[in-house]
Structure 1
């Protein structure tokens, strides 16, 4: 995966949840440093946000954005359908949702403190965020806490390995429209739901800044359950304020 390694990537792209997060019903990255909730963080991004296209007519809602140490927004998610929860495990099968993850396509750049180098983001970055996002919605809430910790560590490692091997046998190719253009995605299903990851067509990303580390487009990830991925389409969100919590 094109990141600075597992620890570095989690620091830049968001950390997994803890047992306390899950017991409180929170998703990963909700209350950790470098993460903003609410409209403000989305408006600070130097790249366009993606969501489901106009064919989806259900509820839309904001989740959170992830930012680097210097405050630069790096990624974020938009939700569609039922807001997923881990409070009641028996409700998992009744939830219908799709979450779209937008990741800024960044070149190799200096870290905020100037002491290191961050490698370029990639489709694997979007796959990792989508995989860990789905994991946050499938926590076995009735499992004893220590076992849940082990479960999370194991599943997080699997999600990382899968994101780092997009050409492996665990993934298939699914073509879906992005701004009306057929676009290939890496796609996989599991007992928890589905995950996909790809990139917007080169040159379509709305780069609003220049210089080292400037956004050169976006990578798109998505995850969901209860809604088939095969009928989805993605498009630029024209007005992010239309997504309400």
Structure 2
């Protein structure tokens, strides 16, 4: 599959200070500011909370992808904590790249495609899912299995697990691949701005969403 390397789920960063004395929130924004591509989030129709998550970088430090959060910041609920009533949608922006040489010239980097965005969104949703019947020791095994399934699904966007829907991106209707599971929903598509978009969420309907370029990152801090 022409995707980025399998990157772990991106959790929201703490706002405590780092060992260098720089607030983590400030360091997180710096990562977004280094990106050579536009970031996307929900459009102005969404009026709830917005927050930043971590960026993913290549071996040479180039920013490759990252996520913006909307609504309730999701958390993993321990067994017995009751039903998860959080409502959130996370938008994943992935830089579009063809197959290319690695920075040190010793290898080839995979292309990034809509499947890349689908994979990152699917694995991101799993990061906030913890079946109540599993104990902590077994969760890693469950997560590995589900993550492999998410990877396989992202590699088959034309398969029966996906449907299509049209959602506005910068005001223009664009096609997206969409699937639902017991854990939430995942979608993936592309933009006219040269990036791929993934999204995942729970408690918010994907059918009413719209996406737009983030004009001011301060809205997310």
Fold match by TM threshold 0.5:
yes
Distance 1:28 1:240, change over 3 A: closer
For 2:5, the equivalent position in structure 1 comes to 9
Match of 2:97 among 106, 118, 123: 106
Task: Calculate the TM-score normalised by the size of structure 1.
Answer: 0.80
| Mapped contact 1:28–1:133 kept (Cα < 8 A) | no
> Per-residue deviation at 1:142?
6.1
For 2:58, the equivalent position in structure 1 comes to 68
Matched pairs, number: 209
| Mapped contact 1:126–1:221 kept (Cα < 8 A) | yes
| Mapped contact 1:185–1:196 kept (Cα < 8 A) | yes
Distance 2:183 2:176 in 1: 19
| Mapped contact 1:15–1:28 kept (Cα < 8 A) | no
Distance 1:100 1:92, change over 3 A: farther
Is 1:228 the equivalent of 2:205?
yes
> Per-residue deviation at 1:141?
6.1
> Per-residue deviation at 1:15?
2.8
Is 1:168 the equivalent of 2:178?
no
Segments of structure 2 that go 5 or more residues without pairing to the other structure are: 15-24
> Per-residue deviation at 1:150?
1.5
Segments of structure 1 that go 5 or more residues without pairing to the other structure are: 17-25, 31-35, 206-216
1:95-174 aligned within 5 A: 95-140=86-131, 143-174=134-165
Please report the RMSD computed on the Cα atoms of aligned residues, expressed in angstroms. 2.1
Is 1:187 the equivalent of 2:164?
no
| Mapped contact 1:195–1:224 kept (Cα < 8 A) | yes
Match of 2:30 among 18, 40, 43: 40
For 1:198, the equivalent position in structure 2 comes to 189
| Mapped contact 2:97–2:111 kept (Cα < 8 A) | yes
Q: Deviations over 1:124-172 (max 9, x none)?
A: 0000000000000112366223321210111011000000000000000
Give SS of 1:93's match. Answer: coil
For 1:27, the equivalent position in structure 2 comes to 11
Task: Calculate the TM-score normalised by the size of structure 2.
Answer: 0.88
> Per-residue deviation at 1:59?
0.3
Is 1:57 the equivalent of 2:50?
no
